[in-house]
Homo-oligomer: A and B are copies of this chain.
Amino acid sequence: MRTLKIKPLTAEAFRPFGDVIEIGNNQSQPMNRGMAERFDALGRVELQGEQARAVISLVRSSQYPVPHTVDLVERHPLGSQAFIPLEDSPFVVVVAPAGESVTSDALKAFRTNGRQGVNYRSGVWHGLLFTPFAAMTFICVDRAGEGSNCEERSFPPGQQVLLDP
């Protein structure tokens, strides 16, 4: 089985797939009389379809055994989906460009630096949230509302890839 190369997550590399939510080198504006600074709109919440609304949830993810087989991806055609970790621990995201079809040849894997969250743009294919280094809790910001907002594609055995962080 092919092993997917995992690269460091950067805003530039992730741009086709969504936003990296991090302080990084972003600019801030002062607020609260200079006692705070705001790094504005690092992630843009996308909402389509009837009665669409954004919700803030928490997601607690167990530590995954490694190596991990990527045998499925999913996408949310009606909204973005952000995961921002509450712990300073890296995790791994697997993505492929939006579009009707997806093959594992198109997959890219990124390792966060422990101070980064991600926001998948609507329709971007992604693997399950992969937390190989620790159990982690995430803030999730995504869409609620009417309509079918989750599609999955399974890869046949010959198309599956391995993640070995």
Q: How far is the CA of A39 from the CA of B137 in the complex (A)?
A: 11
Asked if A44 CB lies within 8 Å of chain B CBs, one says yes
B45 touches A54 (CB 8 A): yes
Q: Quick check: which of A2-10, A29-37, A102-110, A156-164 contacts chain B, the rest being far away? A: A29-37
Q: How far is the CA of A17 from the CA of B12 in the complex (A)?
A: 39
Known A45-B45, A139-B84; judge A36-B56 contact (CB<8 A).
Answer: no
Contact residues in B for A117 (Cβ distance below 8 Å): 139
Query: In the complex, how many residues of chain A place their beta carbon closer than 8 angstroms to a beta carbon of chain B?
Result: 43
Total copies of the chain = 2
Residues 76-108 of chain A: 1 if any B CB is under 8 Å from the residue's CB, otherwise 0? 000000101010000000000000000000000
Known A44-B55, A45-B53, A53-B45; judge A60-B32 contact (CB<8 A).
Answer: no
Contact residues in B for A35 (Cβ distance below 8 Å): 61-62, 64, 128
Q: How far is the CA of A38 from the CA of B142 in the complex (A)?
A: 12
B36 touches A58 (CB 8 A): no
